[in-house]
Amino acid sequence: MAQVQEARLVPLRDSLVGRVLHGSTGVAYHLRDCIGEGGQGWVFRANWGDPSGHVVVVKVLRPDVVATEALRRFQREAEVLRRLSQGTPNPYVVRFYDHAVANVPSPFGPEPLALPYTVLEYVHGTTLEAVLKAEKRGLPVARVRTLCRHIALALDAVHQQKVVHRDLKPSNILITTEGGSEVAKVTDFGLVKLVDVNLARTTALAGASLGYAPPEQYEQGNERVSPRTDVFSLAAVTYEMLSGKLAFPFIEGENPLLIVTRILNAPRPSLKKVRANLPPELETNTQALDAFDRELMRAFAADPAVRHATALELSNALEPAFRMAMEERPAPPVGREVNPFEATARASDAPALPPEAPQRGSGLQPRAPAPESVAPGPVDVPPVRVARGSGNLPAAMSRESAPPEVQAGNPAAWSWQVVGAGSAPDLRAATFVNDGEAFVVGPHGFARLERGRWKAVSMPETVPATAIRGLCPLGGGSVLAFGDGGIVARIAPSGAVAVWRVPDSEITFHGAVSHDGTTTLVGERPFRGTGPRSVQAATSGVIAQFKEERLVVVADANACARLRGVARLQSGKIVACGDWGTIVRLELGVVDQASAVCNGHLTHAAATPDGGFVVVGLGGHALHMNAQLDAQLEAVQTTRDLVSLHVGADGQAWAGSTQARLVRRSQGSWIRMSGELGISANIIAITCGGRWVRAVGSDGALIQGVLH
């Protein structure tokens, strides 16, 4: 009977191809081919505005389900997506454009048919379900890490709108490529629940997906459904990405109550039990497997109260396991041509701790985080001797007789201290002002490190700490804070704040550089170009420039999805780096792509005395570009992500990485200069003089190196 009903609707479906629907604001949607259909409706590819306009997706509800629960789900999905698209759209949620009702001629009689429809972003790609079916085992760990993070960020945006997705599964996660990077986008919000609404009257199961929905979703009334419900589903999706297997398998047609009973009472899924299906880098890594299973077991708890409170909390909890599974590879054997991205410092080659040095973690226990509304308060932090480098000078050449560059490039010539580990947890950004004094921002607010003490810096509501992604020194002790929503603010040493106005609130700034009153910021914003690129990318790079506090340039860099770092060369030229090795330059207010120099995401750039600049990025990528923008890849003794960079007045270049690595550029290579520092924080800011180095860790540690 159902097949007869669907066959009867084929003429209506086919009659919609080529039809023009007019949206709620009068925009015309030119329907093209039908690219999908199901029990509730059809999905058409369409053009926005005119026959050659931006490609979008139009979801049309079938007339035979308009009077059913399906209509309420359809309308609820449209309303949720509308809410999620307000303000700054999330790049990991399929974007909403319009919702309306079309009156179209009926092939069954004289009365027109009223067909509700929703217009959404067109995602050129496939589903995670299709990706997993094409693989014989789990996906590479690095890929799972990226996709898991994207999904968690999407769910975080959803939950901030007081919404629970309730139907997260691989078929509702779209995989596309934007700016050369793989991106996951969450879709299908037809089962969402508004958690601030009393749904005690709801008794229907409402289509919860077997194998991904937690037990509370099958309860009458769904009263325990909360963001923790989506945490369970995200854990199931992550388990499946790593193993290629369902976390809670079932037989088609099996009684759902039996499946729920297994979820309630059976042992939790374990990656260690399916080793043969795991990606090679995880299969034999017992430490990483233990870390994954520990967090996944918590997320799979039958009791929602036991699970991680949010999707981001689960993602953050899994991060150490991802890192362990992606440990640095051993250095290539002698005689083999070295790929700059493979060069790494082996654990056996790391500088040894001197006998008097404390063991890892001794006396450096993290302090409890401050309350969320309070910035880090004053903390007295005595210095702690940690390590000295191992050294590699020839035996016949002492440090005293070595040339300055050779001496400075020898790890054994440096000694290191860690001051105040853990006193300002989870810092997001930091910079140095006034000869080494640090200014930082984290979830608890802003703080300045003065004479070894963190002192809170109060900010007006117009500069929320949660929106800040970066800090940049402006000279004279002032600091520039920038980030989400196009926020740019100058913070004077006195604490006075001046907000610099950017007309586009959809911009996110990631990097900045300032010189002689001109400040240049780089970042991303929703793509606004034309042609095929506008279909494939949700964002494009953007550059904004201020003269003093006056905005003079806002220019798009459509060649890449995101710009992360920027530098001013000695010639005065502005260059910026971004995703997938993109290098662009800003000349006379126009952005010009210089080159794509590698396949890695580049995070920071800094000018060098030779007129060129150095660039570092994720995975230990580093390169030097001369004044003509010719690139030379350079070997780096770590494959950790390089997340900070500084070139001193004497031309010394230092970079900091995740997992507390500090590397120095010497004769075209980046050498790891410190031994184990007793901390595992990311080095988020670094500065240097001729014989000293200072760095800030994401845990608030101040790291100091001295050349002897």
pLDDT in tens, 175-208: 998 877 899 999 876 433 333 323 322 223 344 5
Percent of all residues in the chain with a pLDDT value above 90, rounded to a whole number: 34
> Are 125-325 and 347-375+386-707 the same fold in CATH?
no
Are 230 and 165 in contact, with CB atoms under 8 Å apart? yes
Average pLDDT over residues 18-30: 91
Asked if residue 621 has pLDDT above 60, the reply is yes
pLDDT at 420: 63
pLDDT tens figures, 27-59: 999 999 988 876 677 889 999 998 888 999 998
The least confident of 363-367, 398-402, 608-612 is 363-367
pLDDT at 243: 96
Asked if residue 248 has pLDDT above 80, the reply is yes
Percent of all residues in the chain with a pLDDT value above 70, rounded to a whole number: 77
Asked if residue 73 has pLDDT above 80, the reply is no
pLDDT at 56: 92
Q: Going by DSSP bridges, is the β-strand pair 163-164/125-127 parallel, antiparallel, or unpaired?
A: unpaired
Answer with the residue of higher pLDDT: 115 or 369.
115
Asked if residue 599 has pLDDT above 80, the reply is no
pLDDT at 561: 82
Asked if residue 361 has pLDDT above 60, the reply is no
Q: Can you tell me the distance from the alpha carbon of 644 to that of 660, in angstroms, rounded to the nearest whole number?
A: 11
Are 619 and 639 in contact, with CB atoms under 8 Å apart? yes
pLDDT at 424: 60
Average pLDDT over residues 530-534: 40
Q: What is the DSSP string of 112-130?
A: PEEEEEEEEE---EEEHHH
311-325 vs 286-299: helix crossing angle, rounded to 10:
170
H-state helical runs in 168-226: none
Indicate the pLDDT class of residue 319, thresholds 50, 70 and 90. very high
Q: Which CATH class is domain 125-325?
A: mainly alpha
Extents of the domains making up the chain: 2-121, 125-325, 347-375+386-707
Q: What kind and span of H or E run contains 447? A: strand 445-450
CATH, range 347-375+386-707: 2.130.10.10
Answer with the residue of higher pLDDT: 197 or 80.
80
The least confident of 77-91, 124-138, 216-230, 299-313 is 77-91
Asked if residue 584 has pLDDT above 60, the reply is yes
pLDDT at 69: 60
Asked if residue 398 has pLDDT above 70, the reply is no
pTM above 0.85, yes or no: no
Q: What is the 3-state secondary structure (H, E, C) of 339-377?
A: CCCCCCCCHHHCCCCCCCCCCCCCCCCCCCCCCCCCCCC
Average pLDDT over residues 276-292: 92
Token pair 């997340």: residue = 643
Asked if residue 374 has pLDDT above 70, the reply is no
Asked if residue 123 has pLDDT above 60, the reply is yes
Asked if residue 6 has pLDDT above 80, the reply is no
Q: Can you tell me the distance from the alpha carbon of 411 to that of 434, in angstroms, rounded to the nearest whole number?
A: 27
Dihedral (CA of 208, 210, 212, 214) sign:
positive
pLDDT at 289: 94
pLDDT at 556: 87
Length in residues, the chain: 708
CATH, range 2-121: 3.30.200.20
